[in-house]
Structure 1
Amino acid sequence: MLKDLASLIVKHTVPSRRHLTPELVLRLVTPECPLWRAKEDEIPFKDPFWAFYWPGGQATARYILDNGELVKGRRVLDIGCGCGAGTIAAVKMGASRVVANDIDPYAIAATSINAILNDVAVETNSNDLIGTKCEEFDTILIGDMFYDEEFANVLFGWLQGVRGEGKTILIGDPGRHGLTEKRRQHIELIAKYNLPPESCIENHGFTETSLWKLK
């Protein structure tokens, strides 16, 4: 099954370095791909979020690549890994263990493909880990997941609970409505980046992205 998913992903994506982390080559849907302009009934995937390099994920991976000591020797969990950039960055920067987690099997396949492209080995997990204690991890990466208020409420409550167990929680987000002013009182801004032109086009108006740390 994974092989079939991988073949479909490769067919509809292209390798790209036109993003905040050009050190990483990632198979993505870009404007030159037919899928970019396809109508809904022509798209062979349901909600292919993994096919785009979202702003929060770019901020997370960029910061890790620039500050490798943040993850070196640590056990990292990348929740909602998407294309796998955060996972790959953490592996490259010397994390002792990195697990790419996503409930979408296409995201798991895309992450595996991109890991191979970047000459790293990754561990994947397709279970829904939100709500679990995740005791075996020191660092949790969250990118672009505050898009819905109801889900954001569940997600943020869970993150605050596991933070009490001594974990580092990093949240990449360009300013979505789910990361409310009230929630921002509990996080610390640690980096802000201007998105490159290609990423601005792909992300419908976002020109900046940020990385936050749960206090």
Structure 2
Amino acid sequence: MLRLLKYQKYASVKTLVSVFKLTNRQRCFLSSSKSGEYIRRFILENTEIAGEHSLTPEVRLRIFTPRCRFWRERPELWPFDDPYWAIYWPGGQALSRYLLDHPGVCQGRSVLDLGSGCGASAIAAKLSGAAHVVANDIDSVAAVATLMNCELNGLEPLACVTDSIIGSEPHGFDLILLGDMFYDEALAASLHSWLDRCIKTHGTKVLIGDPGRAQFQEHGIRRFLHQLAQYELPESIREENYGLTCSSVWYYNPELTTGEDL
């Protein structure tokens, strides 16, 4: 069994239940060796090309599979921050599926994939005709993984930003994508406030993908959401998640009464 990620963050993937912890010595070593080429080589050696059993079999991704070393390796041997990018989370799958099925949502638009992880939703947006796509994840390893996944899908490199932009001055994005981001109450609150500013300042549209985790269902933002689609998760994805069988896409806009004008 893979012993990788903190259960309290995504509380859904039963094979990912432990924290990666680095010693100070390991962190010092990383600061001198974490070049783009080093990370790229590490990803190549420790992931596999997958995605065929997801909601978007047409999108290829380098992620963890049971055949990968760190699916079963001791967590303390992992040399980076927690590898959330190495899992294709159910909320991101639903969001990516929706974009591919409804290309008009992002066609010709400027799109931000916030908390982009492996970059699947950003890639789906670009494949669906988005004019400009930015993938934002505070993990620099996720940025390298996203660029590698762009190559796998025949795309030019997307713009990748690794600074946290939540709370910053809103940029003029037409569409913001959030997959599996409502796992922490404080983060959800800051997201709520920032998304409101983006909507009021630029008229930004916001799509959220989530499989129905408790932190999402119980948050106050739910009353501002309108469900656009629900997808049954493939059997293999269900087996990896705690009691989650479906994943949904929601349109967030406090002033909207239906999702028809998206």
The match for 1:211 is: 249
Q: How does 1:120-131 map to 2 (within 5 A)?
A: 120-121=155-156, 122-131=158-167
CA contact (8 A) 2:170 2:197 kept: no
CA deviation after TM superposition for structure 1 residue 203, in Å: 3.1
CA deviation after TM superposition for structure 1 residue 38, in Å: 1.9
Gaps of 5+ in 1: none
CA deviation after TM superposition for structure 1 residue 194, in Å: 0.9
Return the TM-score normalized by structure 1. Answer: 0.95
Q: Following the alignment from structure 2 to structure 1, what is the Cα–Cα distance between the partners of residues 176 and 210?
A: 14
Structure (1 or 2) with the larger CA radius of gyration: 2
> Which structure ranks higher in relative contact order (CA pairs < 8 Å, sequence separation ≥ 6)?
1
Report whether the alignment pairs 1:2 with 2:51.
no
Amino acid at match of 2:215: G
CA deviation after TM superposition for structure 1 residue 107, in Å: 0.6
Q: How many residues align?
A: 215
Helix, strand or coil at the partner of 1:185: helix
Amino acid at match of 1:152: A
Q: Following the alignment from structure 2 to structure 1, what is the Cα–Cα distance between the partners of residues 53 and 186?
A: 33
Gaps of 5+ in 2: 1-34, 254-262
Report whether the alignment pairs 1:85 with 2:85.
no
RMSD: 1.3
Please point out which of 181, 206, 209 is paired with 1:172. 209
Superimposed CA distance per residue, residues 37-91 of structure 1 (whole angstroms, 9 cap, x where no aligned partner): 2222233332100000001110110000000000000000111110000111111
The match for 1:183 is: 221
Amino acid at match of 1:125: V
Judge which range, 198-207 or 122-131, deviates more: 198-207
Return the TM-score normalized by structure 2. Answer: 0.79
Amino acid at match of 1:141: L
State, as a whole percentage, how many aligned pairs show the same letter: 44
Q: Following the alignment from structure 1 to structure 2, what is the Cα–Cα distance between the partners of residues 15 and 203?
A: 21
CA deviation after TM superposition for structure 1 residue 133, in Å: 3.3
Please point out which of 111, 119, 122 is paired with 1:76. 111
Please point out which of 217, 235, 241 is paired with 1:197. 235
CA deviation after TM superposition for structure 1 residue 181, in Å: 5.2
CA deviation after TM superposition for structure 1 residue 154, in Å: 1.0
